[in-house]
Amino acid sequence: MKHFTLFNVFRCLSGALLSITLTSAAWAYQADLAGAKDSLAQGDNQAAYSQLHASELEHSGNPEFDYWLGVAALRAGEPSHALMALDRAILRQPNHAGARMERIAALLQLDQRGAAEREIEQLQALSPPPDAQAAIARFQAEIDQRYQAENGPQHQGRLGVDIGYDSNPQRFPNEIAIDPLQPDLRRAVEELIDLGLEPEGDPSQFDERVFSRDASTYQRLQGSYQGTFPIDEQSRILVNTVGQSQRYTQEDAQDYDLTIAQAQLGYQRDLNAQRVFTLRGSALQGWSGRSQSRLLTRWGSEVDLRHPIGSDSELTWRLGAQHNRFSAANNNYDAGRLGVQLGTNHTAFRTRLSAQIENEWADSRRDGGDLVHLRLGAGIDYPLGDRHLLRADLNHRIRTYQDDGFALYNDFDSTTRRDRIWQARLSWLYQFNKDWLLEASADAERRRSSVEFFDTRRYQAQLGLRYLF
């Protein structure tokens, strides 16, 4: 009897402690929620968001908590996080009209108008009261206003100046010697010279040539214009022009001075299910060297199909063709390519993934013949506040020539050339105001080739100022 009494006492104490613990946890939860609501009422949105965000792991899944976390995140300028919290609340309470209303606001902040209109349809099915109907009408008016703004002509221009450093404008190896004569012919020429018989023409044309990279600073001027001209509510004409001129300061690098002018004309149409179809045609003219003689004339066309995946991602398919004609006709080629890009908005950043395969059908005189080019890329945009943005890109390219060639660069032994190229770029962008943008960037390129002459490294650093209008 004594043991039974002690057991009952222990059980009662345990139950009391558990009850106190649960009551304490519930009290702490209610205190956090009440404090966040007070902060929101006082306009201190960031404090409310920080308070609820800190206890998200503990209370996530509670519809009431997720709703108020979504409200605080939205007011604090975190629409992606707000969307995640509100989705959890709606998943457990599909008829949570308040969460659906806040979700519309979050989608509009992310400019996902199609998803916002679908959410409005869901909310209308819940027969909202007059106050909610008025709020829905305001949301729909904002959506209509954005569509109307897009359906008017839009113009955007940019002028920029850059200064930079290029470690290898020529894309040469550190240093490599190329003999223009085959070994047997080299011995014959040397024997003639020993006999006092000079070859016809300039004897220096038979000298061994040494190639080495020569770093240089450079200046670049560029300008661009983008125009959108609506045809109707679903379609529009796109105009894009770009001009750029780059000049190196070192004399040995000035053969690689480059001027480019490009114009592009496109047609874009909105399809159902938020898909967008774009057809573009383009023309490019390039000039190079000290004398700025014609380098390249290019004609191209491209078809894009863009469509959303879920609420945060967008997939773009591209099919294109090019017609390239160089001043040296043996470099001419035509190209066709197929590519895909996936862009995704995360809570605090945006990512890009891309893949492209291209085939070049070359002039019969081009060294190495046709070419298959595979490109894989990844990028990230990370905002640092309202005015700063960090952008990082990494690309890997594989270029495989289909015929043996490049004997002059490989001890007169024709071989198949295959290049693997890694390219990395890191940029920092700072927007002073709506008119001025500062950009600093660093680039690194490493090319590993089956032909030693084309095995190279290259580094660049650049600072640019842009005027937007």
User: What domains appear along the chain, each with residue ranges and CATH number?
Assistant: 2-150 (1.25.40.10), 157-174+213-468 (2.40.160.40), 177-212 (no CATH)
Pairing outcome for strands 418-431 and 436-449: antiparallel
Span 263-269, average pLDDT: 97
E-strand stretches of 310-417 = 313-326, 333-345, 350-362, 371-384, 388-401
Residue 43 above 90 pLDDT? no
User: 358-376: per-residue pLDDT in tens?
Assistant: 999 999 999 999 999 999 9
Nearest to 132 by CA among 168, 105, 164: 105
pLDDT at 27: 60
pLDDT-above-70 percentage for the chain: 85
pLDDT confidence band for 293 (50 / 70 / 90): very high
pLDDT at 9: 46
**Average pLDDT score, the chain:** 87
- 416 or 58, greater pLDDT: 416
Least confident of 15-24, 154-163, 207-216, 281-290: 15-24
Q: For residue 27, what are the contacts with CB-CB under 8 A and spacing of at least 6?
A: none
Tell me which H or E stretch contains 114: helix 113-124
Let me know: does 105 contact 86? Beta carbons within 8 Å: no
- 183 or 118, greater pLDDT: 118
pLDDT confidence band for 299 (50 / 70 / 90): very high
pLDDT at 273: 85
Residue 16 above 80 pLDDT? no
Residue 460 above 70 pLDDT? yes
pLDDT at 218: 97
Pairing outcome for strands 313-326 and 293-309: antiparallel
Separation between Cα atoms, residue 215 and residue 168, nearest integer Å: 5
Q: How is residue 463 written in tokens? A: 């600072």
pLDDT-above-90 percentage for the chain: 53
Least confident of 192-206, 302-316, 344-358, 400-414: 192-206
Give pTM, 2 decimals: 0.67
Least confident of 33-47, 280-294, 324-338: 33-47
- Facing residues of 463 across strands? 163, 440
Q: How is residue 157 written in tokens? A: 């221009």
pLDDT confidence band for 17 (50 / 70 / 90): very low
pLDDT at 152: 72
Q: What is the 3-state secondary structure (H, E, C) of 120-173?
A: HHHHHCCCCCHHHHHHHHHHHHHHHHHHHHHCCCEEEEEEEEEEEEECCCCCCC
DSSP assignments along 43-89, one per residue: T-HHHHHHHHHHTHHHHTT-HHHHHHHHHHHHHTT-HHHHHHHHHHH
- Facing residues of 339 across strands? 318, 356
User: 372-396: per-residue pLDDT in tens?
Assistant: 999 999 999 999 887 899 999 999 9
pLDDT confidence band for 246 (50 / 70 / 90): very high
Alpha-carbon Rg of the chain, whole angstroms? 32
- Facing residues of 361 across strands? 334
Alpha-carbon separation of residue 373 from 283, 321, 353, 354, 400 (angstroms): 22, 14, 17, 14, 6
pLDDT at 461: 98
Residue 14 above 60 pLDDT? no
User: 148-187: per-residue pLDDT in tens?
Assistant: 766 678 899 999 999 999 999 988 887 776 666 666 666 6
Alpha-carbon separation of residue 346 from 82, 349, 361 (angstroms): 12, 5, 40
What b/e readout covers 228-241, taking b as 16+ CB neighbours within 10 angstroms?
Answer: bebeeeeebebebe
Q: How is residue 126 written in tokens? A: 């819940």
Q: For residue 128, what are the contacts with CB-CB under 8 A and spacing of at least 6?
A: 97, 136
Q: How is residue 205 written in tokens? A: 């044309």
Separation between Cα atoms, residue 407 and residue 413, nearest integer Å: 5
Let me know: does 288 contact 260? Beta carbons within 8 Å: no
Which phi and psi (to 5°) does residue 42 adopt?
Answer: -90, 0
What b/e readout covers 140-169, taking b as 16+ CB neighbours within 10 angstroms?
Answer: eeebeeeeeeeeeeeeeeeebebebebbbb
User: 66-101: per-residue pLDDT in tens?
Assistant: 899 899 999 998 998 999 999 998 988 888 888 898
pLDDT at 200: 63
pLDDT confidence band for 434 (50 / 70 / 90): confident
User: 189-242: per-residue pLDDT in tens?
Assistant: 666 566 666 666 555 556 666 667 789 999 999 999 999 999 988 899 999 999
Span 272-288, average pLDDT: 95
Span 52-77, average pLDDT: 87
Least confident of 20-29, 75-84, 98-107, 118-127: 20-29
Separation between Cα atoms, residue 342 and residue 47, nearest integer Å: 35
Residue 31 above 80 pLDDT? no
